[in-house]
C-alpha cells in the first residue's frame, strides 16, 4: 500500500508541468537563434543552390542530392535529443549543445565556398576521378553541416518546451517561427544587396572571392548572435532538481523509444509531417531557378522570391496563431492551410504561363500565407503530441520526420526537374517546372488524408500508460 502511494506520488511529480521561466524579453532574445537559422538556410537553399545550378552549371541532381545529405543526418536528432535530456554539461541540459552545434555549422558554412568551386573546376575539366572525389567531399561537408544543425536545433526546441507551460507554448513557438521567417527575409534582402554586382557574372574567379567574404561575415555574425540569444536563459540544474527530475535521468534512449513507438497516433502524425513537409518544400531547390529560367530574372531578383514567400509566411503564422486557429481549432486550420497550399501551387504554374513577374510575386505571397497558416497549426499539433518528460527525444523524432522529408524534397525536387526536362525538352523549361509543382500538390493532398486520422486524445492515453509502466518498473 505504501509502495503504491510512493509510486503514485512519483508519477504525479514526473507528470507535473514546469512553471514558466521564459519572460517575454527572454523569449524575444531566444528567438534570435531561430532567425539566424532562417538567414543561413536561405543562403544554402537559395543563393548557393541557384549559383551552383545556373551560374556554375552543376547538374540539378548533384546539387539536390548534395544538399539532401544535410537532412540525411536527421536520425541524429533523436540521439541528440535524448543526450540533452540525460547528460547536462555544467548543470545545463540544452545550452552547451546549442552552442557546440552552432560553432559546427558556422565552420562548415565557411568551408563550403572553396569546396563548391573546387567541384566546379573538376566538372569543367571533365576528369572522372576528381569529379567523384570532390562530389563525395561536398556531400560529406553537407553531412557534417546537417549533423551540427541537428545538435543545435533539437535541444533548442526542447529548451523552449522546458521553459514554458502548456498554455504558453503555442505563443512561444509562434514567436520563434515568426523570427525564423524574419531571418529568411533579412537573409534574402542581404543577399540581394550583396550580389547586385554579380548579376550576369559566371566567371568562378570573380564569384568565389565575393561569396567567400560574404559567407565569412555572415557566419561570424550568426555565431555571435547565437551566443547572445541563449546566454543565461536556461536555469542550472541543482543536485536536488536532478534527483527530483527522474525523467531526465531514468528514461534512457531505449525507454524513450518505447514511449515513442507505443502509440499508432505517433506513426500517423509522423507520416503527416513527412508528406506535409515534402508537399511544402519540394519546390525549395528549384524555386530560384524557376525565376531565372522561366522569368529571366537575375540573381539579385530571384533571391527576393524568398522574401516574398517569407513575408507571406510571417503574416500567415501570425494570422493562424492569433485569429484562425483559436476559432477553427488546430486540425481544421491545418486542413485549410494544406488546401491553400495546393491552390497556391496551381497558381504558381499559371503564373509561368502568363510570364508576369508581378503575378509571380503575388502568388508567392499567397503561397507564404498558406504555408504560415498550415505551419502554425501543425507545430501546435506537434507540441500536443510531445511528452514534457522526454521532450528532447520527441522533438528529435518530429525533427527526424521533417528533415527526412526535406531531404527527399531536395533530391526529388532536383531529380524531378531533370526528369521533366528530359520529357519536355530543353525548349520548354516551364513544362519541366510545372511537372514538379503538380506532383507537389498531389503529395499535399496525401498529407490531408493522413491528417484526417490524427487523434490527440488517443495519443495521450496510449503514451501515458506506457510512461507509467516504465516509471513503475524503475521504482520497483
* pLDDT tens-digit series, residues 202-256: 677 778 888 888 889 989 999 999 999 999 888 876 543 444 444 444 455 566 6
b/e for 340-354, b at 16 or more Cβ within 10 A? bbbbbbebbbebbee
| Nearest Cα residue to 373 out of 426, 331, 421, 422 | 331
* Three-state secondary structure string covering 273-322: HHHHHHHHHCCCCCHHHHHHHHCCCCHHHHHHHHHHHHHHHHHHHHHHHH
**In sequence order, which residues have a C-beta less than 8 Å from that of residue 327 and are 6 or more positions away?**
none
Q: Which residue has the cell 508528406?
A: 275
Q: Please indicate, yes or no, if residue 247 is contained in any of the structural domains.
A: no
Task: Note the pLDDT of residue 473.
Answer: 54
pTM for this structure?
0.71
Q: Please indicate, yes or no, if residue 2 is contained in any of the structural domains.
A: no
Instruction: Give how many domains the chain has, as a whole number.
Output: 1
- pLDDT averaged over every residue in the chain: 81
Task: Note the pLDDT of residue 152.
Answer: 92
Task: Note the pLDDT of residue 254.
Answer: 64
Domain that holds residue 130: 19-234+256-471
User: What is the CATH number for 37?
Assistant: 1.20.1250.20
CA distance 96 to 93: 7
Backbone phi and psi for residue 235, each to the nearest 5 degrees, phi listed first: -70, 145
Contact 53, 60 (CB under 8 A): yes
For residues 364-382, average pLDDT: 90
First to last CA, the chain: 13
Task: Note the pLDDT of residue 389.
Answer: 67
The 10s digit of each residue's pLDDT in 386-413 is 776 666 778 888 877 877 787 788 778 8
Q: Please indicate, yes or no, if residue 9 is contained in any of the structural domains.
A: no
Task: Note the pLDDT of residue 252.
Answer: 56
The 10s digit of each residue's pLDDT in 261-295 is 777 888 899 899 999 999 998 888 888 889 989 99
* Residue 200 banded pLDDT, cuts 50, 70, 90: low
Query: Between the CA of residue 378 and those of 145, 210, 349, 416, what are the distances in Å?
Result: 26, 39, 26, 27
Contact 162, 17 (CB under 8 A): no
Q: Please indicate, yes or no, if residue 188 is contained in any of the structural domains.
A: yes
The 10s digit of each residue's pLDDT in 126-160 is 778 888 898 889 889 989 998 999 899 989 988 88
Q: Please indicate, yes or no, if residue 452 is contained in any of the structural domains.
A: yes
CA distance 193 to 184: 14
Cα 171 to chain centroid, rounded? 19
Q: Please indicate, yes or no, if residue 6 is contained in any of the structural domains.
A: no
For residues 466-470, average pLDDT: 63
Q: Please indicate, yes or no, if residue 240 is contained in any of the structural domains.
A: no
Amino acid at each position: 500500500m505504501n509502495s503504491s502511494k510512493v509510486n503514485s506520488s512519483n508519477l504525479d511529480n514526473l507528470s507535473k508541468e514546469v512553471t514558466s521561466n521564459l519572460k517575454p524579453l527572454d523569449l524575444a532574445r531566444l528567438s534570435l537563434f531561430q532567425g539566424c537559422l532562417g538567414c543561413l538556410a536561405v543562403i544554402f537553399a537559395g543563393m548557393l543552390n541557384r549559383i551552383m545550378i545556373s551560374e556554375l552549371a552543376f547538374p540539378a541532381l548533384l546539387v539536390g542530392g548534395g544538399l539532401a545529405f544535410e537532412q540525411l543526418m536527421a536520425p541524429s536528432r533523436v540521439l541528440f535529443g535524448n543526450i540533452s535530456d540525460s547528460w547536462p554539461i555544467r548543470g545545463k541540459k540544452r545550452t552547451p549543445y546549442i552552442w557546440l552545434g552552432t560553432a559546427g555549422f558556422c565552420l562548415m558554412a565557411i568551408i563550403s565556398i572553396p569546396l563548391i568551386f573546387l567541384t566546379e573546376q573538376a566538372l569543367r575539366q571533365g576528369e572522372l576521378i576528381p569529379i567523384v572525389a570532390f562530389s563525395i567531399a561536398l556531400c560529406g561537408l553537407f553531412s557534417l553541416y546537417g549533423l551540427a544543425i541537428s545538435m543545435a536545433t533539437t535541444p533548442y526546441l526542447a529548451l523552449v518546451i522546458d521553459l514554458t507551460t502548456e498554455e504558453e507554448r503555442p505563443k512561444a513557438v509562434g514567436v520563434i517561427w515568426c523570427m525564423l521567417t524574419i531571418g529568411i527575409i533579412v537573409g534574402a534582402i542581404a543577399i540581394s544587396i550583396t550580389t547586385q554586382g554579380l548579376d550576369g557574372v559566371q566567371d568562378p574567379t570573380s564569384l568565389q572571392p565575393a561569396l567567400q567574404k560574404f559567407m565569412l561575415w555572415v557566419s561570424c555574425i550568426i555565431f555571435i548572435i547565437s551566443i547572445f540569444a541563449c546566454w543565461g536563459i536556461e536555469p542550472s540544474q541543482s543536485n536536488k532538481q536532478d534527483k527530483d527530475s527522474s525523467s531526465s535521468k531514468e528514461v534512457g534512449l531505449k525507454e524513450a523509444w518505447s514511449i515513442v513507438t507505443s502509440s499508432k497516433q505517433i506513426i500517423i502524425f509522423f507520416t503527416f509531417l513527412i508528406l506535409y513537409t515534402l508537399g511544402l518544400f519540394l519546390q525549395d531547390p528549384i524555386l530560384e531557378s524557376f525565376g531565372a529560367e522561366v522569368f529571366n530574372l537575375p540573381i539579385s531578383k530571384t533571391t527576393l522570391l524568398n522574401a516574398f514567400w517569407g513575408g507571406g509566411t510571417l503574416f500567415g503564422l501570425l494570422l493562424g496563431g492569433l485569429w484562425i486557429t483559436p476559432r477553427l481549432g488546430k486540425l481544421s486550420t491545418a486542413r485549410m492551410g494544406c488546401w491553400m497550399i495546393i491552390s497556391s501551387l496551381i497558381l504558381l504554374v499559371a503564373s509561368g504561363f502568363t510570364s508576369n513577374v508581378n503575378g509571380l510575386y503575388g502568388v508567392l505571397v499567397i503561397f507564404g500565407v498558406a504555408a504560415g497558416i498550415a505551419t502554425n497549426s501543425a507545430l501546435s499539433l506537434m507540441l500536443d503530441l510531445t511528452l514534457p518528460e522526454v521532450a528532447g527525444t520527441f522533438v528529435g523524432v518530429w525533427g527526424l520526420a521533417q528533415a527526412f522529408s526535406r531531404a527527399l524534397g531536395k533530391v526529388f525536387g532536383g531529380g524531378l526537374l531533370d526528369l521533366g526536362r528530359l520529357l519536355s525538352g530543353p525548349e520548354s523549361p516551364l513544362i519541366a517546372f510545372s511537372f514538379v509543382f503538380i506532383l507537389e500538390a498531389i503529395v499535399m493532398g496525401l498529407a490531408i488524408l493522413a491528417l484526417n486520422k490524427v487523434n490527440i486524445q488517443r495519443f495521450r492515453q496510449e503514451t501515458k500508460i506506457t510512461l507509467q509502466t516504465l516509471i513503475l518498473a524503475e521504482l520497483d
